């Protein structure tokens, strides 16, 4: 057992320290490769801010130095042929190898975080460098003792030169990837420089204590020299790899410290990296050249990826076209919309950031329940940032990275800055879009209003006996109120006042339908009962179930002066006699569209009235009597009747104007109505108009 | 701004909606969602208690029309109770008393449901 464990632990063939067989070397190599991955797993969770990484390395280095000095105190030496002199030499060599390898491995794995911080395109340089270093270490320490002649010798020479060359190139490529330096501000920068200098000092000390003929063989009476004389013979390849690792660390930290020293910004408040500044500049110019929301979104995701904030990004915006409003992906970069939508529960993430109004970070997407499985390995971490005007979150920017724990505090700050600019640009574009849309709608509504006003009769029939005045004012641009008058061939006049339930455009459409029905049906079936039955049939098929129409329809025979009038759900017509006697014709009748069965016909009653000279008939819609003043008081049918009675001798047009003025007075001159409002006034004269020249002047 | 509200009550399988305030085009969607909710819970017997309903516009009346056929197809109905005179006047002008049961009190409306009197 001991003979089995001993070599694996310490890589030694107990009797001969340096002449270990090739099998043993492979076993030792495999053990350390395994140790590399175990360390990688342990360190994966370590914090990844630049300062934390540097600090971690410095602590490891100091710990390593202390432990190394301790181990070097173990008695044991090697002779000139690197052969063990004492038994403890084996233990000492093994421990030194373990320490040195652990330090070099930790150094490399922690630096990897800094090296691979941004540019995704060059991230392969890192594994290639490690591979080149490892291959070189193994190959270099196993060159044949006697260099072969001829072609083989040339090939081997080319190989060693190639390996060395590749390694140097990759070390150089990685050693200068210090873009994280630009993110640090003020004090952080100073701290990083100090830690960097400390690390440089430690790495400079390393070779000093490792060489056999160290310039400081003894410090305070303690031997600190010569650990490489143990490591070398223990595993030559490991020794070379460790050396190369430490060399790379030295170069990288040197490059970092130099760029920190020479890249100190003049203003400590400069909070953005050059890349991010560029992004914001671009967004800023985008805002000035205001385009549509979709294009702005495209540019934002494009800039997010180009600014190295993300490996892929996409934007979701609330879709305001359909209720309930759902977030939809409107633009994406480096990822298809379909894939983004399939892999992430867009709505769940959106709702969370919309509620929190803060950047949401998922450092390991695989563990989040809102991320569906079968994600590619190129998406490991996610940040979701709200977009909106501060009060309302109207969208979100999704940013993904190819590494887990890909977002550090500085990234979040940068994302926050980016999204505040992006929000501004998006809101600006949306504002412009909605202004254009609003103007377009306003124009179209103005046209609709024109059309609707033209649908109303332009000239009312005027005869010796009958005179009329009418008006209709929609509360919005268009409305559902309607009146019309039709002179029939036999001297009869049909008049209708109707009110489509609801207001606005939908009511206006039904009003237009109703007018079509009136214009055609009143000619064919002019009697009130027949007309309303016809109208009910015609309209019922076309109405939405919650829409109905109330109407009052009258037919005046100008020869006989007989008025037939029916009401389907409408406000009763008012009649005031010449003597001032008022009556309301509240005949029974159901609103149009409320019943398609016999009930409508059965309940419909017709009023027959012999018009008397001086009779005033007023037809109106509920908007008139329900019109309120500032105190919430309704105009009311009593006041209407009273006003008509007071001015019953007036000519129809004047009486109509008096009524509208009285309404305005009642409401305190309020210019707009809360409901559509229609008023039709008919007067019946006992004599031809010319015989009563002062008719309009009478009170 | 909206001064309309709907409260739910339940009495022996009948949903009673107490309407408060003014029911117009702006507040009609509130009533609509309330009736939808009652329908989701399987309630096809609905009594609208109008004791605190101060005003109703044509858009408000339309809501009842939108649902009544469906409820009656499910052997349910919408009945009105305790309407204020002014609101009743609007119902009356429109001919609603011919289409709906409109009772003076909630108890009478419940009684109509219990006795299985068919809608008009």
Give the pLDDT band of residue A76 (cuts 50, 70, 90). Answer: low
Average pLDDT along chain A: 80
CB distance A548–B62 less than 8 Å? yes
Mutate to test the interface with A, among B1, B28, B58, B59 (most CBs of A within 10 A): B58
Which pLDDT score, from 0 to 100, does residue A208 have? 66
Mean pLDDT of A25-43: 86
A370 in a structural domain:
yes
Q: In this structure, are A178 and A288 located in the same domain?
A: no
**Of A117-126, A134-143, A447-456, which gets the smallest average pLDDT?**
A117-126
For residue A402, give the CATH number of its domain.
3.30.450.40
A482 in a structural domain:
yes
**DSSP for residue A179:** G
- pLDDT tens-digit map of A290-347: 567 888 888 888 888 877 677 889 999 888 777 678 888 888 888 888 888 888 888 8
Which pLDDT score, from 0 to 100, does residue A284 have? 66
Last residue of a domain, one of A395, A418, A434: A434
The CA distance from A464 to A457, in Å, is 20
Closest CA in chain A for residue B25: A502
Nearest chain A Cα distance for residue B25, angstroms: 6
Mutate to test the interface with B, among A475, A498, A569 (most CBs of B within 10 A): A569
Residue, of A663 and A272, whose pLDDT is higher:
A663
Tokens 């050059």 belong to A274
Q: In this structure, are A282 and A251 located in the same domain?
A: no
Q: In this structure, are A404 and A551 located in the same domain?
A: no
Last residue of a domain, one of A262, A288, A311: A262
**Of A73-77, A322-326, A537-541, A577-581, which gets the smallest average pLDDT?**
A73-77
CB distance B25–A547 less than 8 Å? no
Residue A98, class by beta-carbon neighbours within 10 Å (0-12 exposed, 13-18 middle, 19+ buried)?
buried
CA distances from A130 to A60, A169, A234, A271, B64 (A): 20, 12, 21, 34, 77
Q: What are phi and psi of A3, to 5 degrees?
A: -65, -20
Q: In this structure, are A591 and A472 located in the same domain?
A: yes
Q: In this structure, are A203 and A313 located in the same domain?
A: no
Q: In this structure, are A412 and A479 located in the same domain?
A: no
* Percent composition of chain B: helix, strand, coil (DSSP 3-state, to 5): 45, 30, 25
A607 in a structural domain:
yes
Domains with residue ranges and CATH for chain B: 4-112 (3.30.750.24)
CB distance B58–A570 less than 8 Å? no
The CA distance from A522 to A536, in Å, is 13
A211 in a structural domain:
yes
Of A313, A40, A25, the closest CA to residue A142 belongs to: A25
- Using an 8 Å Cβ cutoff, are A382 and A400 in contact? yes
Q: In this structure, are A594 and A680 located in the same domain?
A: yes
Contacts A568 to B, Cβ<8 Å: 95
Q: In this structure, are A408 and A466 located in the same domain?
A: no
Contacts A603 to B, Cβ<8 Å: 95, 98
A43 in a structural domain:
yes
Range of the domain at A344: 274-434
Mutate to test the interface with B, among A482, A539, A546 (most CBs of B within 10 A): A546
* Percent composition of chain A: helix, strand, coil (DSSP 3-state, to 5): 50, 15, 30
Contacts B95 to A, Cβ<8 Å: 568-569, 588-591, 594-595, 603
Mean pLDDT of A585-592: 93
Which pLDDT score, from 0 to 100, does residue A16 have? 42
CB distance A503–B25 less than 8 Å? yes
A448 in a structural domain:
no
Which pLDDT score, from 0 to 100, does residue A582 have? 94
Contacts A545 to B, Cβ<8 Å: 65-66, 69
Give the pLDDT band of residue A213 (cuts 50, 70, 90). Answer: low
Give the pLDDT band of residue A412 (cuts 50, 70, 90). Answer: confident
Nearest chain A Cα distance for residue B113, angstroms: 22
Q: In this structure, are A283 and A383 located in the same domain?
A: yes
Which pLDDT score, from 0 to 100, does residue A533 have? 94
Which pLDDT score, from 0 to 100, does residue A566 have? 96
In this complex, the residue of A501, A599, A626 whose CB is nearest that of residue B61 is A501
Token pair for A303: 């800039």
Mean pLDDT of A514-527: 91
The CA distance from B78 to B67, in Å, is 8
Give one DSSP letter per residue of A512-580, joined into a string.
HHHHHHHHHHHHHS-SHHHHHHHHHHHHHTTS-TT--EEEEEEEEETTTTEEEEEEEBSPPEEEE-TT-
Residue, of A204 and A638, whose pLDDT is higher:
A638
**Of A442-456, A628-642, B53-67, which gets the smallest average pLDDT?**
A442-456
Q: What are phi and psi of A605, to 5 degrees?
A: -115, 150
Mean pLDDT of A509-525: 89
The CA distance from A381 to A171, in Å, is 28
Q: Provide the number of structural domains found in chain A.
A: 3
Which pLDDT score, from 0 to 100, does residue B82 have? 93
Q: In this structure, are A415 and A302 located in the same domain?
A: yes
- pLDDT tens-digit map of B61-85: 989 988 888 888 888 899 999 999 9
Residue, of A504 and A106, whose pLDDT is higher:
A106
Give the pLDDT band of residue A454 (cuts 50, 70, 90). Answer: confident
C-alpha A326, offset from chain centre: 10
Residue, of A688 and A145, whose pLDDT is higher:
A145
Q: In this structure, are A289 and A386 located in the same domain?
A: yes
Q: Does A595 touch chain B (CB under 8 A)?
A: yes
> Given the DSSP bridges, would you call strands B102-103 and B77-81 parallel, antiparallel or unpaired?
parallel
Residue, of B33 and A276, whose pLDDT is higher:
B33
Contacts B119 to A, Cβ<8 Å: none
CB distance A599–B98 less than 8 Å? yes
Q: Does A275 touch chain B (CB under 8 A)?
A: no
- Using an 8 Å Cβ cutoff, are B51 and B62 in contact? no
Q: In this structure, are A238 and A348 located in the same domain?
A: no
Which pLDDT score, from 0 to 100, does residue A570 have? 95
Last residue of a domain, one of A215, A237, A262: A262
What's the start-to-end Cα distance of chain A, in Å?
130
The CA distance from A199 to A176, in Å, is 17
Q: Does A548 touch chain B (CB under 8 A)?
A: yes
Contacts B65 to A, Cβ<8 Å: 545-546, 548, 594
A446 in a structural domain:
no
Which pLDDT score, from 0 to 100, does residue A87 have? 63
Residue A670, pLDDT > 80, answer: no
**Of A121-125, A377-381, A407-411, which gets the smallest average pLDDT?**
A121-125
For residue A688, give the CATH number of its domain.
3.60.40.10
Q: Does A599 touch chain B (CB under 8 A)?
A: yes
Residue A207, pLDDT > 70, answer: no
- pLDDT tens-digit map of A248-288: 888 888 888 888 887 644 333 334 455 566 666 666 666 66
Closest CA in chain B for residue A590: B95
A269 in a structural domain:
no
């Amino acid at each position: 057992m001991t003979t089995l464990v001993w070599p694996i632990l310490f890589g030694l063939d107990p009797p001969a320290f340096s002449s270990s067989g090739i099998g043993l070397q492979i076993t030792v190599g495999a053990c350390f490769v395994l140790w590399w991955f175990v360390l990688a797993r342990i360190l994966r969770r370590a914090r990844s801010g630049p300062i934390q990484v540097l600090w971690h390395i410095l602590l490891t280095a100091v710990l390593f130095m202390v432990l190394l000095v301790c181990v070097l105190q173990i008695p044991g030496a090697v002779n000139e042929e690197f052969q063990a002199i004492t038994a403890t030499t084996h233990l000492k060599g093994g421990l030194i190898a373990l320490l040195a390898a652990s330090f070099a491995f930790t150094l490399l794995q922690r630096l990897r975080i800094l090296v691979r911080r941004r540019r995704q395109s060059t991230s392969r340089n890192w594994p290639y460098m490690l591979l080149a270093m490892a291959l070189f270490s193994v190959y270099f320490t196993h060159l044949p003792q006697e260099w072969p002649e001829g072609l083989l010798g040339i090939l081997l020479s080319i190989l060693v030169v190639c390996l060395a060359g590749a390694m140097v190139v990759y070390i150089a490529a990685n050693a200068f990837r210090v873009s994280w330096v630009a993110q640090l501000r003020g004090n952080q920068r100073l701290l990083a420089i100090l830690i960097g200098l400390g690390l440089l000092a430690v790495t400079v000390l390393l070779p000093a204590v490792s060489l056999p003929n160290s310039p400081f063989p003894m410090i305070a009476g303690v031997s600190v020299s010569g650990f490489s004389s143990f490591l070398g013979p223990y595993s030559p390849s490991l020794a070379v790899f460790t050396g190369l690792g430490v060399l790379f660390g030295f170069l990288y930290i040197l490059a970092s410290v130099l760029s920190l020293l020479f890249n100190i910004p003049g203003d400590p408040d400069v909070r953005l990296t050059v890349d991010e500044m560029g992004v914001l500049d671009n967004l800023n110019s985008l805002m000035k050249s205001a385009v549509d929301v979709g294009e702005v979104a495209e540019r934002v995701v494009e800039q997010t990826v180009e600014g190295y904030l993300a490996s892929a990004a996409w934007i979701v915006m609330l879709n305001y076209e359909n209720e309930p409003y759902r977030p939809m992906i409107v633009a994406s970069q480096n990822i298809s919309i379909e894939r983004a939508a399939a892999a992430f529960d867009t709505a769940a993430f959106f709702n969370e950031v919309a509620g929190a109004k803060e950047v949401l970070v998922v450092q390991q997407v695989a563990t989040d329940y809102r991320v569906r499985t079968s994600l590619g390995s190129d998406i490991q971490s996610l940040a979701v940032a709200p977009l909106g005007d501060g009060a309302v979150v109207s969208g979100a920017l999704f940013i993904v990275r190819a590494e887990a724990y890909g977002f550090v505090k500085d990234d979040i700050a940068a994302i926050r800055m980016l999204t505040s600019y992006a929000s501004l640009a998006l809101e600006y574009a949306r504002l412009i879009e909605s202004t254009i849309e609003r103007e377009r709608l306003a124009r179209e509504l103005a046209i609709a209003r024109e059309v609707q006003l033209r649908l109303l009769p332009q000239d009312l029939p005027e005869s010796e006996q009958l005179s009329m005045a009418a008006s209709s004012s929609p509360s919005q641009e268009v409305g559902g109120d309607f009146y019309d008058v039709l002179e029939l061939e036999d001297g009869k006049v049909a008049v209708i006042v109707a009110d489509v339930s609801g207001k606005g455009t939908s009511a206006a459409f039904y009003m237009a339908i109703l007018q079509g029905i009136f214009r055609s049906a009143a000619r064919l079936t002019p009697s009130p009962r027949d007309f309303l039955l016809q109208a009910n049939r015609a309209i019922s098929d076309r109405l939405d179930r919650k829409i109905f129409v109330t109407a009052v329809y009258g037919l005046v025979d100008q020869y006989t002066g007989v008025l037939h009038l029916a009401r389907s759900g409408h406000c009763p017509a008012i009649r005031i006699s010449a003597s001032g006697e008022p009556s309301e014709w509240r005949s029974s009748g159901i609103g149009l569209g409320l019943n398609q069965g016999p009930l409508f016909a059965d309940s419909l009653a017709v009023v027959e009235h012999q018009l008397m000279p001086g009779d005033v008939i007023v037809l109106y819609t509920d908007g008139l009597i329900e019109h309120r003043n500032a105190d919430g008081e309704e105009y009311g049918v009593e006041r209407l009747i009273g006003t008509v009675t007071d001015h019953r001798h007036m000519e129809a047009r004047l009486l109509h104007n008096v009524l509208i003025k009285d309404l305005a007075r009642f409401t305190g001159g309020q210019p707009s109505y809360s409901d559509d409002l229609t008023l039709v006034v008919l007067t019946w004269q006992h004599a031809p108009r010319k015989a009563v020249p002062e008719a309009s002047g009478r009170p | 701004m909206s001064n309309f509200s709907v409260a739910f009550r339940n009495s022996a399988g009948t949903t009673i909606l107490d309407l408060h305030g003014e029911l117009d085009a702006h507040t009609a969607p509130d009533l609509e969602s309330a009736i939808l909710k009652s329908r989701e819970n399987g309630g096809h017997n609905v009594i609208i208690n109008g004791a605190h309903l101060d005003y109703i516009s044509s858009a408000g009346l339309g809501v009842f029309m939108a649902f009544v056929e469906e409820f009656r197809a499910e052997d349910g109905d919408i009945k009105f109770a305790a309407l204020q005179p002014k609101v009743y006047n609007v119902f009356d002008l429109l001919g609603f008393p011919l289409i709906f049961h409109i009772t003076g009190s909630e108890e009478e409306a419940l009684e109509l449901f219990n006795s299985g009197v068919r809608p008009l």
